[in-house]
């Protein structure tokens, strides 16, 4: 059972709950099949190393999906992800942990919708940000008149 985040209980500067993912090579192959992204660098170690990569690399869109999963888990069933934009900054490798993080940057009401803007990012095990981005979520309010 997940808890429901509410607009009224959120403050600017609040860190979102961290989601830790442990992507595997098998997951990369499964994601390639589901997404249709069969770029050889996601599953062929020899090809990846042939162009100077240290190993096969995670799909950027898979990492974005992990960020979406983190946001969906935080907002709960009563919330909604309104937008997510990302910039790919660095590579991530399978069989290493990936940390999905975020922080509330702004709360506002627009056309009666209680919206929360967040900075979001992924970090590798060394703490380097490999994706950065922004998200806007809508949260339910306990107080109908919340500004």
Domains located in the chain, CATH noted: 9-138 (3.10.129.10)
Q: What is the overall mean pLDDT for the chain?
A: 94
Tokens of 90: 């660095």
Burial 18-48 (b: 16+ CB within 10 A, else e): ebebebeeeebeebbeeeeeeeebbbeeeeb
Compute the distance between CA of residue 88 and CA of residue 115 in angstroms, rounded to an integer. Answer: 25
Residues 6+ apart with CB under 8 A from 112: none
pTM above 0.75, yes or no: yes
- Across the range 69-84, mean pLDDT stands at 96
Token pair 């096969």 in the structure block, residue: 56
Rg (CA), the chain: 17
């Amino acid at each position: 059972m997940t808890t429901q985040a509410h607009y009224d209980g959120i403050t600017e500067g609040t860190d979102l709950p961290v989601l830790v993912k442990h992507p595997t090579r098998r997951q990369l192959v499964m994601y390639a099949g589901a997404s249709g992204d069969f770029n050889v660098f996601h599953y062929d170690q020899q090809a990846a190393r042939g162009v100077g990569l240290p190993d096969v690399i995670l799909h950027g869109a898979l990492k974005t999906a992990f960020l979406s999963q983190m946001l969906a888990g935080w907002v709960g069933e009563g919330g909604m992800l309104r937008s997510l934009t990302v910039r790919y900054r660095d590579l991530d490798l399978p069989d290493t942990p990936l940390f999905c993080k975020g922080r509330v940057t702004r709360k506002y009401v627009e056309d009666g919708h209680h919206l929360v803007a967040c900075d979001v990012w992924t970090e590798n095990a060394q703490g380097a940000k490999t994706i950065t981005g922004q998200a806007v979520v809508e949260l339910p309010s306990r107080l109908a008149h919340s500004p």
